[in-house]
Amino acid sequence: LGVIGPGAILASAGLAGCDHKKYATNKENIEFLLEGISPDSKDRILTAEGFNWELLIQYEDKLNSEDSFGFNNDFTAFFPDANDSESGLLWVNHEYVDVKFVSGRKRNEEPTKDHADKEMYNVGGSFIRIKRIDGKWTFIRDDEYNRRYTANTRFELLWDEKIADKSEAFGTLANCAGGKTPWGTLLTCEENYHDAFGERNWEDGSIIPGRYNWQKFYDRPPEHYGWVVEIDPETGIGHKLIALGRCAHECATVHQLKDGRVVVYSGDDKTDECIYKFVSSEANSLKHGTLYVANLEEKKWISLSIDDQPILKEKFSSQTEIQVRLREAAHLVGGTACDRPEDIEIDPITGHVFIALTNNKPKDNYFGSILKIMESNNEHDSLEFEWETFRTGGLESGFACPDNLAFDNSGNLWITSDISGSALNKEPYKEFGNNGLFVVPRFGLRAGEVIQIASAPVDAEFTGPSFDKEQNALFLSVQHPGEGSSEDLSELTSHWPSGKGLPRPSVIVISGKGLEYLTHINLPE
Ligand code: FEO
Ligand code: CA
Ligand code: CA
Ligand code: CA
């Protein structure tokens, strides 16, 4: 199987001027010619030959008479109907708001309550009904399952003790990536939560305010954010999973063990923060279990249970306090400081765990890498592992700052890049152009290469790639187009998607014979 070999790290399309025309990808040397695109810096979505895109939904589209689609969409996850894979619910995260577009205030201007309310409405997530009509995925307005989750939605705090004296929290926010469980629920991850209601100063108990200043009108404890949130698409009800710990969770990637217990991998996306793994103690539940942090030097998962670690018992009064102050606990027990762990995916063919390490600018790592963890005996609850770097970002590999990852059923790895908007098209990122969507084909003559499939509009990043059930469509968020526009909106850097007026974060659907070819390629015997 593992056809992705070291010799395959050739220059990617465009960057080194390499001519890849007429490279057949299929092992029988027939079928689709997989040509990538060269980096692009125009205000448009450019796709490779064999791929096309269509708009599914955009910011402020009405879901029904009361609700509208939120801002800066990220993670997507498709939940097909049980008896009809051409209809289902698409979950979409709304990570954060750009106040100049959402409430009209300046970034350093104190919010009014109206500003805060508008901003708090447009974070969280959306469930939207979509159906394939005449071959095209279409958003269905007014469906009873269209639902918004905002910074005001109530969530139970799933834990045996209260968190900041409460067993319920208001709102989910900073929802970056996520995951799905084998029992059909959604996981959405609260990443840069400190921007909203700040963070506790553990020395004196005071609150370090968040940059949005919503705390001016809403008294919410910072301890209620920074969790993985589980939502049932059927009932719409959700809860926060305290057992998975509190940090800038990028994602929550689930693997089910043979006995029904589950393992969840998650990264803390902050410079020099850690990679975590949770192993549940009960089947089909994320309420109880053990949380571990990765020590890459010793190639071990280190327990964060108070009963296993005298040093944690000395510093913290309870397991609850460890869950809340996870970062401190992780470093105390020897968790490895990583280069901003972003999305995590499990290779469907080998079971290896792929982790995007986006960059570490203070350490002069501008392009990031993808880490591969191989659990001992390929058992996901193992406490020992080997690791290697799968790909290093840079001009030779053709991508920089990997963020989201997705494997399709054929084992091709899809990557989106997150070069920050202010750094795009400037050194050292100039030659990468705008952010993009890339694929690393599993098989064929270009196996192992990083091939760019799509280029994002000005200032934007592609986020949240996921597939429909048949894998003939790839859902993709287009986040923060035109974020470099002037605060008074008199100068707009992007007009995407309409080509005129304000730019709007949107979800698109990528399809075409190129996608179908890649996702349906037969595995070698
Ligand atoms: Fe929201 Fe770590 O990207
Ligand atoms: Ca990112
Ligand atoms: Ca991300
Ligand atoms: Ca992913």
| Ligand 4 center to 177 CA (angstroms) | 7
Sheet holding 413-417, edge to edge: 46-47, 451-455, 436-440, 413-417, 402-407
| Ligand 1 center to 295 CA (angstroms) | 22
Q: Does residue 453 have a pLDDT over 50?
A: yes
CA–CA dist 312, 326 (Å, integer): 11
Q: Does residue 9 have a pLDDT over 50?
A: no
Q: Residue range 98-122: average pLDDT? A: 97
| Ligand 4 center to 441 CA (angstroms) | 17
95 lines ligand 1 (CB under 6 A): yes
Identify the pLDDT of residue 452: 97
CA–CA dist 180, 177 (Å, integer): 11
CB 464 within 8 A of CB 76: yes
Q: Residue range 15-24: average pLDDT? A: 35
Cβ neighbours of 196 (radius 10 Å): 28
| Ligand 1 center to 506 CA (angstroms) | 17
CA–CA dist 458, 435 (Å, integer): 9
> Nearest C-alpha to atom 1 of ligand 1 is from which residue?
176
Identify the pLDDT of residue 167: 98
Q: Which atom of ligand 1 is nearest to the CA of 418?
A: 3
Q: Does residue 442 have a pLDDT over 70?
A: yes
Q: Which atom of ligand 1 is nearest to the CA of 74?
A: 1
Identify the pLDDT of residue 32: 62
Average pLDDT, the chain: 93
| Ligand 4 center to 402 CA (angstroms) | 11
269 lines ligand 1 (CB under 6 A): yes
403 lines ligand 1 (CB under 6 A): yes
Q: What is the pLDDT of residues 424-439, one digit of tens each?
A: 999 999 999 999 999 9
Q: Which ligand is nearest to the CA of 418?
A: 2
Q: What is the pLDDT of residues 388-411, one digit of tens each?
A: 999 999 999 999 999 999 999 999
| Ligand 4 center to 465 CA (angstroms) | 7
45 lines ligand 1 (CB under 6 A): no
Q: Residue range 60-81: average pLDDT? A: 98
Q: Does residue 284 have a pLDDT over 70?
A: yes
343 lines ligand 1 (CB under 6 A): no
176 lines ligand 1 (CB under 6 A): yes
Q: Which atom of ligand 1 is nearest to the CA of 269?
A: 2
CA–CA dist 267, 68 (Å, integer): 30
Contacts of 386 (CB under 8 A, 6+ apart): 299, 373, 374, 376
Q: Residue range 151-169: average pLDDT? A: 98
Q: What is the pLDDT of residues 325-371, one digit of tens each?
A: 999 999 999 999 999 999 999 999 999 999 999 999 999 999 999 99
| Ligand 2 center to 418 CA (angstroms) | 5
